[in-house]
Amino acid sequence: MIGEEKLKQIAEKALSFSKAEQTEVLLSVSGNALTRFANNQIHQNVAWKNLGISARVVLLNKKTRQNSDSGGQVGVASTNAFDDASLKDVIARATELANLQEPDPGFVSLPKPQKIIKVTDDIHHATEEEMAAGADVVIKKAMKENLIASGAYANDVSEIAVANSLGVWAHHAGSSCNLSTIVLGKDSSGFAADVARTPDEVDSELVAETAVQKALESKNPQDIEPGEYEVILEPQAVSEMMAFFQWYGPNARIYHEGASPLSDKMGSQVFGKNITIIDDPFHKDVFPMPFDFEGQPKKAITFIKNGVLQNIAYDSYHALKYHHQNTGHALPAPNTMGPIPLHMYIAAGDMTRDAMIKNVKRGLLVTRLWYVRVLNPKMLNVTGMTRDATFLIENGKIVRPVKNLRFNQSIPKALNNVVGIENKLTPLASFEGEMISLAPTLHISKWEFSSATLF
Amino acid sequence: MLKIAQDILSKIPSSVSYADVRIVEQESEDVATKDGVVEALESSQSLGYNVRILKNGVWSFAASYDMSEKGVDETIKKALAIVKASATHKTSNVQLDELEPIVDSYKTPIKEDPFKVPMSEKIKILLAADKAQKVSDKIAVTQASYQANRERKYFVSSIGSKIDQDIVWTGAGTDTTAVDGPELQNRSYPNSFRGQNQTRGFELVRELELEKHAPKYAQEAVELLTADTCPTGEFDIILDGNQLALQIHESCGHAVELDRVLGYEASYAGTSFLTTEKLFNFQYGSDIVNLTADATIPGGLGTFGYDDEGVPAQRTYLVKEGKFQDYITSRDTVRKLHEINNQYTKRSNGTVRASSWSRLPMIRMTNINLEPGGEEGTGKGWKLDELIADTKYGIFMSTNRSWSIDDKRYNFQFGTEIAWEIKDGKRGRMLKNPTYQGITPAFWNSCDAICGRDEWTVWGTPNCGKGQPGQVMYTGHGASPARFKKVKVGVVKW
């Protein structure tokens, strides 16, 4: 890592090379390692380090249009070197692109400095030996039961800084350790994962135990007819379902285009009264992120309260364009996806997982989902498969493992049919650990399975 | 750069069994317009290198941007430390198949270097295409995009190979969104998800004539708002080439990756139903189905000179006249296959690529193709009009909208942007929200007609994800429209 002081000097130097009205630089430094295992041995073991600078140059009122003299011309360039020649070149390339631009009437200004809550930098490097040892715990437990372990142990360390010519400066460094595994039997599989700040906090034993247990319990899965079932979605499945809501739901760009299922529904009851959805970058169980990729402060925000749409996510562009307060959800420029919340979760309820299972008359317990894709963003209906251990529940008891099924399900409908929410949130990482989300187990009264597969 | 790569290689201790060094310079340009405004205008560069070492029967890989002497020493030291950690947990030794050393250069043949075309011209082309989509007040979003990428790769290995490659690929397209109340429909030209992409120069963008074609597709998006919903049932379907390309990608391309088959991708993307005992005896498709992996097709997005292990680009039959014949392989996985099946004696067929200098090379699709009709073993070479005329009742589907497949590549479901009903050999009413679902071998065994080479295009799929850490690779798929019998259609309740 380079450190805040030195990164600030680099950022200031890059900004000094720009003659544009406004300039922003986003700097990143990363060191990553990933130990991957399959067939009960480590087969890929990699480490890489990189740095990057992305410059956004803004020319204001350079060109005039017939009906408008406002708008900014914006160009973005990036490179992975911090020497003076590279800094000058990246600013020059961004400026050249900005000069070629037609003004965007929607662009008003880069954001001004805001007070950012300082979060202590929290960096932990995992050694090759620590990562290999984590993998070894899983492998040994799987081999003991004649199962085959595969998985990955990732350690990601990163430093991010944002500066702009209006005085914004924001810096944060953090890291994560993430162990995930899929344990395979002859006709079964089990998934488990753990994510933590330090290698010591990764519970390899629990990951191994959970995945092995799932693989054993899902042996000899039986055929089951597709159709409408009650489901218990475990936290990983809930997170996979909500990933597309995160993108297409409370996103100011898509909302104002009229393409979101939430469009024009501010203040309306959109989901069941038991659903509250929050984005909290300072939640005790997530890796804190005090600012967005424009260096604007992040804070906890409630999108849905008791089923009612209360807020959506904005970045500076959409906040100024639609005269709304910036909520600190910018992604790196140029961003054609719109502002997206990265710490979003469904608030915990009041039930235990076991109590929810007891309430199921005939339904399925789903460990996780796979290959979820949007069928229509406006309706936010998605398709996907179940994966890595699915079970039939009858009269409140898990009775047998079943083969995987394909679903076609509207997410808004699912969130209107939630009849039970677990009383705790489980931290979950993406496969590479750079993001963390939280999810409870959900009991949903109707879930549409449309076809079956052969395993 | 080859000299620098050689210098790095020379620093790796001779005690290793094998080592290679890859320096990669990447350059890209992206332009995206939305509603008449250039929304993204970006130029990116990246330079770095990696060392890959095989020692004590295990692989290690370390990569860095830092090409200083100290940086290189640290990278090699890291790679050797990784070897040590991996070797303590091994149960078998990695072995590499034979390979002759190669000293050569490869350059993508292009007519017009996209990076030399003035940016102002690119912006003008896209803004004109964006504006041309405004055919109705129901048009909610107009978009056009252009992208160009250049990879200069410098590869040296301990067997004496020295290869430099200059690979260029370009792409462009339009995407129109029409909205009316709760109804939303999209049409893209010439394909969804950033248009057509090929290892060609700016000539591809000019040939696409975005401004000329955009209004027709925008109009279709508007018409889809009031079109009838695709009916539900078991029908014959004709898939347009741009949809069939993704069908090949998902249900054949990933299924024949030998690393998946051997379980090396089980922790993420999954495994494959095409297990090794099926080699040479499994009826993957009907007898007119011939699937190839061909990294030599001019313009294919998966076309190159050498893979990232220094193996020459090749053409391989994966499925011949319906029978499963081969996988896409690497130097280490092919050795495993020799051990499993002594009938299999082939060398690596050269499909190993990495998405950047910081990523480990792994088996990736090259151009995975359904060979056109009218050639040896592929049946009649139909024209699309003839195929429609030959269909009593069916659905003709075009341009992918959604895709999903299980982790063994059996159960798939696709949605397309548009479809038309075929009745008594005539293309009839437009249909919205078409979807179809099937099980891979049954689906390919139901293929009874494939259009000929005149309608065969190598479609680019620039967004293929695989591996941990994730890698996005550019792959190609040659396809012409083809017909499949009795497929489940209209599988989503809207």
d(CA A19, CA A410): 50
Alpha-helical regions (H) of B253-341: 258-261, 331-340
Residue B42 three-state SS: strand
Which residues lie closer than 8 Å to B189 by C-beta, 6 or more apart? B173, B174, B195, B208, B210, B213, B214, B216, B217
- pLDDT mean over A194-221: 96
Mean pLDDT of A350-379: 96
Q: Do A319 and A186 sit in the same domain of this protein?
A: no
Examine the pLDDT at A430 and tell me if it is beyond 70.
no
Find the residue in B nearest to A89 (Cα): B45
3-state secondary structure of A185: coil
What does the pLDDT read at residue A65?
Answer: 41
User: Is residue A75 within 8 Å of residue B41, measured between CB atoms?
Assistant: yes
Radius of gyration of chain B measured on its C-alpha atoms: 24
Q: Name the residue of chain B whose CA is nearest to A30's CA.
A: B64
Contact B299, B200 (CB under 8 A): yes
Q: Do residues A106 and A131 both lie within one domain?
A: yes
- Give the tokens for residue B146: 């252009």
pLDDT at A335 over 60: yes
Pairing type for strands B411-423 and B426-432 reads antiparallel
CA gap A316, A327 in Å, rounded: 8
pLDDT at A106: 87
Task: Using pLDDT thresholds of 50, 70 and 90, give the confidence band for residue B181.
Answer: confident
- CA distance linking residue A226 with residue B416, whole number of Å: 23
Asked whether residue B271 carries a pLDDT value surpassing 80, the answer given is: yes
Distance, in Å, from the CA atom of B352 to the CA atom of B361, rounded to the nearest integer, reads 6
Phi, psi angle pair for A135, to nearest 5°: -60, -40
Q: Which residue of A has its CA nearest to B259?
A: A38
Instruction: Show which of A157, A182, A214 is a domain's final residue.
Output: A214
Tokens of A402: 């079943």
Point out the least confidently predicted range of A99-113, A316-330, B194-208.
Answer: A99-113
Q: Would you mind telling me the total number of residues written for chain B in this entry? A: 494
Question: pLDDT at residue A357 above 60?
Answer: yes
Closest Cα of chain B to A180: distance in Å? 8
Domain with residue A130: its CATH number is 3.30.2290.10
Residue with tokens 């030399």: B116
- 3-class SS of residue B250: helix
Which residue among B44, B266, B469 places its CB closest to the CB of A150? B266
A138 and A108: one domain?
yes
Q: Which of B62, B264, B402 sits opposite A38 (nearest CB)?
A: B264
At which residue do the structure tokens 């942007």 appear? B417
> A233-255 burial, b if ≥16 CB within 10 A, otherwise e?
bbbbbbbbbbbbbbbbbbbbbbb
Specify the pLDDT at position A62.
60
What tokens were used for B28?
Answer: 């890209």
pLDDT of residue A122: 79
Which of chain A's residues have a Cβ under 8 Å away from the Cβ of B264?
38-39, 43-44, 150
Coil, helix or strand for B291? strand
Percent of chain A with pLDDT over 70: 96
- Nearest CA to CA, how far is A279 from chain B (Å)? 26
Same domain, A79 and A227: no
Contact state of A50 with B120 under an 8 Å Cβ cutoff? no
Q: Where are the domains of chain B?
A: 2-226, 233-489
pLDDT at residue A426, as a whole number: 94
pLDDT recorded at residue B306: 98
- Please give the mean pLDDT across all residues of chain B: 97
Tell me the HSE value of A320 on the side-chain side, using a 13 A CA sphere: 15
Statement: residue B285 has pLDDT above 80:
yes
**The dihedral of CA B386, B387, B388, B393: what is its sign?**
positive
- Report the residue from A75, A180, A374 with minimal CB separation from B41: A75
Work out how many domains chain A is built from and give that number.
2
Last residue of a domain, one of A214, A244, A265: A214
* Same domain, residue pair A323 and A342: yes
The arrangement of secondary structure in B2-226, i.e. its CATH architecture, is 2-Layer Sandwich (3.30)
- Judged against a pLDDT cut of 60, whether residue A389 lies above it is answered with yes
Q: Give the best residue of B184, B332, B340 to mutate against chain A (max A CB count within 10 A).
A: B184
Location of structure tokens 């690779």: B473
In this predicted model, what pLDDT tens digit does every residue of B456-473 receive, in sequence order? 999 999 999 999 999 999
Closest CA relative to residue B417, chosen from B440, B405, B399? B399
As a whole number, mean pLDDT of residues A161-178 equals 96
* Domain residue limits at A27: 4-214
Same domain? For A112 and A201 the reply is yes
| Element counts in chain A: helices (H) and strands (E) | 9, 19
CB of B92 within 8 Å of a chain A CB? The answer is yes
Question: Could you tell me what percentage of chain A is helix, strand and coil, using 3-state DSSP and rounding each to the nearest 5?
Answer: 20, 40, 40
Kindly state whether residues A91 and A106 are assigned to the same domain: yes
State how far Cα A148 lies from the chain centre.
29
Give the end of a domain, one of A214, A234, A250. A214
**Domain identity same for A190 and A242:** no
Cβ contact, residue pair B266, A148, below 8 Å: yes
User: How far apart (Å, rounded) are the C-alpha atoms in residues B449 and B324?
Assistant: 19
Confidence of residue A435 (pLDDT cuts 50, 70, 90): low
Beta bridge partners of B165: B106, B153
Give per-residue pLDDT as tens, A11-64: 999 999 999 999 999 999 999 999 999 999 999 999 999 999 999 999 986 654
Q: 3-class DSSP state for residue B387?
A: helix
Q: How far is A378 from chain B (nearest CA, A)?
A: 6
pLDDT tens string B342-390: 999 999 999 999 999 999 999 999 999 999 999 989 999 999 999 999 9
Nearest residue in B to A226, CA atom: B491
pLDDT reported for residue B480: 98
Q: What is the DSSP letter of B359?
A: S
What is the pLDDT at residue A432? 46
Quick: pLDDT tens for B305-316. Answer: 999 999 999 999
Q: What angle do CA B323, B326, B330 make, to 5 degrees?
A: 170
Cis peptide before B469 (omega within 30 of 0): yes
Structure confidence by residue, pLDDT tens digits, A59-112? 986 654 444 456 889 999 999 999 999 999 999 999 999 999 888 888 999 999
Neighbour tally for B182: CB within 10 Å: 11
Instruction: Judge if A205 and A259 occupy the same domain.
Output: no
Residue whose tokens read 């498709």 = B285
Contact list, A264 vs chain B (CB under 8 Å)? none
Does a cis peptide bond (omega within 30 degrees of 0) precede residue B190? yes
User: In terms of CA atoms, which chain A residue is nearest residue B91?
Assistant: A41
What pLDDT does residue A408 have?
A: 97
Residue A433: pLDDT band with limits 50, 70, 90: very low
Summarised one tens digit per residue, pLDDT across range A245-278 is 999 999 999 999 898 999 999 999 999 999 999 9
